[in-house]
Structure 1
Amino acid sequence: MAFLHRVVNGGGTLEREYALGTGRMDLCLRYGQVVLGIELKVWRQGRPDPLQAGLAQLDSYLARLGEETGWLVIFDRRSGIPPIEERTTTERVTTPDGRRVTVVRG
């Protein structure tokens, strides 16, 4: 949150559920010439890993924004998994249309 406060206090904007015509991206952060599209997903018990669906969704949002990079954050809410400090990871992946996305899992 402190990072987001600094961006907004420094002249940036943070828009929730940013409408793009094909749906609503969860967060759109703008700071100067930088635009970050951020999609949030929850991995629930008994459900499949939301990675592929999240990447496809974010891919279409980034295309509408004209951006080549974005962030996908996956909150793991399944039972019986290690504490968040042990399971939090980041990795860089490529969307179906070749955009670069940083995936944060926790």
Structure 2
Amino acid sequence: MSSRSPTSRLAPLKLVSACVAVGLHAAVLAMVLSAPVVEVAQGRPEALDVQFVELGPAIEPEPVAAAEPQPQVETPPEPEIIPEPEPIIEPEPEPEPEPVVETPEP
């Protein structure tokens, strides 16, 4: 069993929740104070329009199809480059030794 009481485990959660609530209130107050006073005084409440955005997976826009597809010009295939074979190097023949002719001794 844990030595911490159930209320001490919820303390960080309560602190984070309080910070989020204060932050949201500050954001709304900043939006109201940053609205031009002239537009609000003229009866244009859209100056204080609050929009809620639903967070979800990003949807990629589909590419718009062109009115007329561009004709594709076929390029001729490049000729294959055939490498030249390496010349066969034959080793030089070894010189044949001269036959030894024994001369008789006088």
TM-score, normalising length: structure 2: 0.21
User: Could you say which structure has the greater relative contact order, defined with CA pairs below 8 angstroms and 6 or more residues apart?
Assistant: 1
**TM-score, length-normalised on structure 1?**
0.21
More helix by share: 2
